[in-house]
Structure 1
Amino acid sequence: MADGQPVQDGEAARGLAYSGPPPPMPGEAVEVADGVLWLRFRLPMALDHVNGWALRDGDGWLIVDTGLNLPDTREAWEAVLAGPLGGRPVTRVLATHMHPDHIGLVGWLCERFEAPLLMSRLEYVTARMLMADTGPAPEGGAAFYRAAGWDEGRIEAWRSGYGRFAMGVAPLPPSYRRIVGGERLRIDGRDWRLVAGEGHSPEHVGLWRLDDGVFISGDQVLPKISSNVSVWPTEPLADPLGDWIAACERLRSALPADLYVLPSHGEPFNGLHPRLDALVRGHGVALKRLKRRLAEPARAVDVFGSLFARPVSDGVYAMATGEAVAHLNYLERRGRAERRRDGDGVDWWRATGPEETET
């Protein structure tokens, strides 16, 4: 689960090759391709880092993703700006998606350099909504987690921590420049194609430099972990896993196999097509395990063992629940599972149709 507790993917190493330099320390930068600097910022969680990128942009730099709004991240940025970026200005800031570890200091950089923010519409609007949604916790959210099998103590803890999104994000710019998948962006006289994704976030955007195959993949393609794909209380019947699988299949068809992938977590790698295949195959195997588990009625919280390779800690319990519901919704949409809500508001799931075996 990217953006939380990492779950190692056993197939991650198949067909992948790592050829880049060692990761930079916070406050440092290393060049991974012509005019592309790799930055890294600490995260205070099991997934302990996020990568950012500085792209040479004429007399300055276009920044892709920024880390969280934390004192040590700002300190790292001060060192990067004064050192590896040579005191040259930030000309533009691009956010691949709206999760706090990617947009935490977007507003800070944009304000400091009077630089425009480039972001897809759904990502920007969703981020602004979450920044403003500070409470009180809605009862619909409590009902969602109760349906998933949470006890009242865990629901009360969720209520007390509601609205924390804004804590890791500096105020966003009040306006932005919309970007969409498929358009070309001119950076330092070279064309980059914007690549749309879905599932992990509403309208994720990556960047592919056409003349040399550099691909900034954000969280849409990670080398060693599978990104979190969750249902949240705001859209309880959503099918983000269907969106995620479709996006992986689209990317495999649309992108060349030999791209040099720069992910938001982990190290740069070659092997885009094998990795996309492994991501889709991994979810397929998990769905088969889940359907077998549903031979007996179960709540969302009862199926974690079918989906995750390690115990789920309290810090990522909501994400694990969201991912479990995403898999259950996926099966329900395709007639392979059904739910029944009991008198206490708890959903009990069971498999429908023929039994499946893991391959």
Structure 2
Amino acid sequence: MSEYQTIPFSFEAVSRTHIGLVRQINEDAIASCVDFTEKIWNRADHDIKGSEIVFLIADGMGGTNAGEIASAITLDSVSAFFPQALEQKVDEEEDIIRLLKRSVRLSHDAIIDYADHHPESQGMGTTVVTGIIRQGRVYVVWVGDSRVYRVYQPKGENKSKIEMLTRDHSMVWDLVEQGKLSVEEARVHPHSNIITQSLGEITHQPKPDYRIVKLYRGDRILVCTDGIHGMISEPQLLKVVAGVGTISDAAEKLTQTILQAGAEDNLSFVLLEVKEGEERNINSDKPEHIETKSGGLTAYQHATYRNQSNNLSSEPRSKKELRFLISAFGRY
């Protein structure tokens, strides 16, 4: 049984998606569910309130090879799996993570099955971040480079901070963790578009990572695709998310900031603020559970190349072209 103290907990959340200024199709998929009884899923551009939520963002890749189908399949698979799976009164941390990972793997299998029956879609894939907020904690599972951030104000300090809760499955993020690149250098790196895990990759089963973090009153959680975090720096992201009044205002400001920056990709996000919950204290920011690099690659035996905006003139629908770069990265 759960050992967590029962403390009133509630949040407000908004979800938004936009095609951006360059792409001709939106290959992102985004959804959330707060009504586990009616099993009603809200798609993008919704304002919601609750005490529990299942959320998902998928960033499709493949362009003419149906990246939008891959992300839609992921959304459909997860929404079919949850919240029915939670009807069993799942409270233990390992059980929640197990369910989230299972939903990701089911999505992967569904994408491959679709591609098997639709040869024109061979090569499609998607990133995914899916998670559950329950009993004042956020449980996150991910594959690829879509991210989850927490924006919070430490106890006794007058400035907010931003913390990246996920770790990208990407070539440049491995270099960040090796101390060879800063976060900002990775963001603008010419190979920032190379990811090392995705759903739908036929020859490699995804190995999702997870994170469990306790939430406190006033915390803001941002779940987003690389159309957000790839366009502006973390300090800019912090300024927008923490520096604007309501989360609806912050969501509008974030969208406009990305558009003003050029919006070279589709942009999608869920922004959530904890309205009721435990008060943060000086011990609140100690690290909790994290499983990193469970699926990361050390030698880049396989990777996914995501087409960048400067290549769009020849392939206007292409968001992230899949290329398998066998041993191409040994020199980097």
Higher Rg of the two aligned structures: 1
Higher-helix-fraction structure:
1
TM-score for both structures, normalised by structure 1: 0.27
TM-score for both structures, normalised by structure 2: 0.29
Higher-strand-fraction structure:
2
